[in-house]
Each structure stands twice: as structure tokens, then as C-alpha cells.
Amino acid sequence: MSLPKKVKLVEVGPRDGLQNEAKPVPTEVKIELIHRLQDAGLPVIQATSFVSPKWVPQMADNAQVMAGIKRKPGVQYPVLVPNRKGLDAAMAAGCTEAVIFGAATEAFSKKNTNCTIAEGIARFSEVAAVALANGLKVRGDMSVCLGCPYEGEVDPQAVVRLAREFEQLGCYEFTIADTIGTATPGKTRAAIEAVAKYISVDRLAIHVHDTYGQAIGNIYAALECGISTFDSSVAGLGGCPYAKGATGNVATEDVLYLLDGLGIETGVDMQKLIAAGDYICGVLGRPTFSRAAKAIAAKMAA
Ligand code: HMG
Ligand code: MG
């Protein structure tokens, strides 16, 4: 089975990683983190969210973050956009990629965005149309595709339905997310294969959380299916505030260790990435969740 030769890593630390932090993270720290991540060679950095600050206070400084970053040529800075208000603010801040986000289950849709799946799609239909008309790219993130904290097992056909709706809206990329990190490789493969009947694998991305320690196994299964875009978070930060029990995203350092070991090109420098993780963990006052970063640091210290 041949694996992709090149992988696109989508760094979600500044957004998914920090949205869940209980204490405010200063805007300058978010900007410095983004600078360090782009210096490490990450080609896509989810910079912030233009969601309601009443729902996610940690992302309330979205416009300041966008204004503060010195954008590196060739790097993309997508932002989450839940509705027209968010899109207008994102466009005013000079964003060039909007990430719309829906859920494969009704219960999660309600908890995360206060609407049904169908109402969310109606909202996103306007968002996507306006974004595309203004030259933005639109990505579709699909939550709880592999397990829901409220509904449990998720039928791959629910993921297929959402992906096909998002395709109608003009998304260029579709993210199958394991929001609460309960998936195992067989489930991951089943969801990918179900969606790939309608949308080619080169347009699919995987976004995994590492709650049950299955993330790297799930990513390997996705590589075997031909997936070549993966979301991950530096130092394994993160979690969705509306997904009970969800821990951090898979650590970018751990994904990079896997890909480097397989000889798959990413353009990302491990030492600089670990330094970016050390920086944010230092500010947050906690150790990294990345196994690879810990092991490499221990080896260097020995
Ligand atoms: P709502 O309360 O139903 O909406 O929230 P509303 O229209 O009644 O607005 C409530 C208040 O928020 C109003 O203010 C609005 O103006 C304001 P008030 O009039 O009371 O002063 N508001 C906004 N302010 C700024 N920017 C906006 C905006 N929208 C409304 N865009 C809504 C509905 C969708 C807005 C809300 O539920 C929301 O923001 N949800 C986002 C939740 C979120 O960010 N979750 C985490 C990201 S998703 C995730 O992490 C999963 C992912 O990683 C993949 C995975 O792992 O699954 C992507
Ligand atoms: Mg997530």
C-alpha cells in the first residue's frame, strides 16, 4: 500500500489549542506563537475564530490577532466563522480563508452552535456564498464524525450527508473530525471510505483528538486511505469547550515524528516546532502533551 509522499499539516494550536484555556491568553502570546509556528515551516495555521465572544471568550481578540501577525508569504491563516457576522468581521480583518463548521449529530450541533444541522447549513450557505464571492476559500470542518459525547456512535452516512451538503456550498476541503478522540483505526477508515465515494481523498482532511491515545493509529489508517492533510496542535493543546471529556488535539510534534519516520515530506522543522511548543507551555505553565517532544528533550538533556 503506497502512502502519500507529501503531507500538508494544518496547525490548529492557536485556535483549537487555545480556545479551551480557562485563563485569558494575552494577544501578544498568540501572535508570538503564530510567528514561531510559521518559522517552523507550518504551511497552514488556524489563527483564531470569529465566533461569538459570549460563547468562546478566549477568541474575543480575533481582530487584534489578525492585525498583529506578520504574514509569511505562502502561509495560509484560516479562521473559524459561524455566521454572517463572523464572516464580515473576518473579511474586515483581512482573512482569506473561512472555515465553516457543522456536526454529524443533532445534539452536538445544538450544543456547539445553538442550531440544528439543517439550520447550520442554511446559515453557512450564505456565509460560503459571500466568502466565495469575495475571493475567500472555504473549508468545511465536520465535528463528531467518529463519536459524539451526547449521541454516542455515529453512522458514517451522517458524515457523508454533511460532507455532500458542504460540497454544495463550495468548500474546497472537508475535515473529518474525531472531536472527542474515541475513534479507532477501523472506524476512521470506514468514515473516510464512505465519504470518499463522493469526494476524492485529496480533498479530505483528518482532525483527531488524542483522548484515548488512538490519534497516531488513526492518522496512519488515514494515510493508508490516501489522506494527505492532517490537523494537529502544537504540544497537544486543545479541546472543544462544548465537547465534554475531550482532551487535546493530537500533538503536531508526534504527527511530525511519524511522518519524518515514514520519509513523508512536510517542510516542518522538528527543533523549531518543539521550541514553539516549549514557548506556549512555558506561558501556560504546564508540560507539553507531546510524547515526541518529551522524548527528544530527554535525549538532548542526557
Ligand atoms: P447564538 O447565541 O444562538 O447567536 O449563538 P445569536 O445570534 O443570538 O448571538 C448571541 C450574541 O453573540 C449576540 O450578542 C450576537 O451579536 C453575538 P448580543 O446581541 O447578545 O450582545 N454574536 C457574535 N459576536 C461576534 N462574532 C460572531 C457572533 N455571532 C453572534 N460571529 C453562535 C450562535 C453560532 C454564534 C454561537 O453558538 C457560537 O459562536 N458558537 C461557536 C462555538 C465554538 O466556537 N466552538 C468551538 C469551535 S468548533 C470546534 O472546536 C470543533 C473543531 O475543532 C473540529 C472538531 O474537533 O470537531 C473545528
Ligand atoms: Mg477540534
For ligand 1, atom 22: residue with the closest CA: 52
**DSSP assignment letter at 242:** T
Atom 26, ligand 1: residue with shortest CA distance = 52
**In the 8-state DSSP scheme, what is residue 44?**
E
Other residues' Cβ atoms within 10 Å of the Cβ of residue 271: 10
Q: What gap in Å lies between CA 254 and CA 172, rounded to an integer? A: 27
DSSP symbol at 284: H
User: Which ligand gives the minimal distance to the CA of 241?
Assistant: 1
Residue 243: which residues within 8 A CB-CB, separation 6 or more?
Answer: 108, 111, 112, 143, 144, 149, 179, 180
Residue with cell 515526541: 292
Ligand 2 centre to CA of 143 (Å) is 8
Q: Is the CB of 207 under 6 A from ligand 1?
A: yes
Q: Give the pLDDT of residue 242.
A: 78
pLDDT at 32: 98
Cα–Cα distances (Å) from 217 to 36, 212, 224, 294, in that order, read: 28, 11, 11, 19
Atom in ligand 1 nearest the alpha carbon of residue 89: 26
Report the atom number in ligand 1 closest to the C-alpha of 99: 58
* Residues with catalytic roles: 240
CA-proximal residue: ligand 1, atom 52 (nearest): 143
Helices 215-224, 185-196: crossing angle, 10 deg rounding: 40
Name the amino acid, one letter, at 270: M
124 lines ligand 1 (CB under 6 A): no
Instruction: Name the residue of 16, 51, 91, 231 whose CB sits within 8 Å of the most ligand 1 atoms, as the mutation to test its pocket.
Output: 51
Residue 233 amino acid letter: S
Q: 240 CA distance to ligand 2 centroid (A)?
A: 6
In the reported structure, the alpha carbon of residue 113 is separated from the centroid of ligand 1 by a whole-number distance in angstroms of 6
Using alpha carbons, list the distances in angstroms from residue 158 to 9, 106, 110, 117, 275: 26, 10, 16, 11, 40
pLDDT of residue 1: 67
Q: Which three cell numbers stand for residue 206?
A: 483528518
- The grid cell for 156 is 458514517
* Residue-by-residue pLDDT tens, the chain, 302 positions: 689 999 999 999 999 999 989 899 999 999 999 999 999 999 999 999 999 999 999 999 999 999 999 999 999 999 999 999 999 999 999 999 999 999 999 999 999 999 999 999 999 999 999 999 999 999 999 999 999 999 999 999 999 999 999 999 999 999 999 999 999 999 999 999 999 999 999 999 999 999 999 999 999 999 999 999 999 999 999 877 777 777 889 999 999 999 999 999 999 999 999 999 999 999 999 999 999 999 999 999 99
Atom of ligand 1 nearest to the CA of 207: 56
Residue nearest to atom 21 of ligand 1 (CA): 54
CA pair distance 162, 9, nearest whole angstrom = 23
Looking at residue 247, its pLDDT comes to: 80
Rounded distance between C-alpha atoms, residue 51 and residue 248, angstroms:
20
Q: Whose CA is nearest to atom 42 of ligand 1?
A: 112
Residue 69 cell numbers, joined: 501577525
Q: Which residue's CA is the nearest one to ligand 1's atom 50?
A: 240
Closest CA to 49 of 242, 277, 300, 205: 242
- Centre of ligand 2 to C-alpha 300, Å, is 31
Report whether CATH 3.20.20.70 matches the domain 8-301.
yes
Q: Show the CA angle centred on residue 206, arms to residues 201 and 210, nearest 5°.
A: 155
Cα(302)–Cα(300) distance, rounded to whole angstroms? Answer: 6
∠ Cα 246 247 251 (to 5°): 135
Contact (CB, 8 A) for 198 and 163: yes
Question: Which residues, other chains included, contact 275 with Cβ-Cβ below 8 Å and sequence gap of 6+?
Answer: 36, 40
User: Is any ligand 1 atom within 6 A of the Cβ of residue 177?
Assistant: yes
Ligand 2 centroid – CA 179 distance (Å): 5
Instruction: Return the pLDDT at 117.
Output: 98
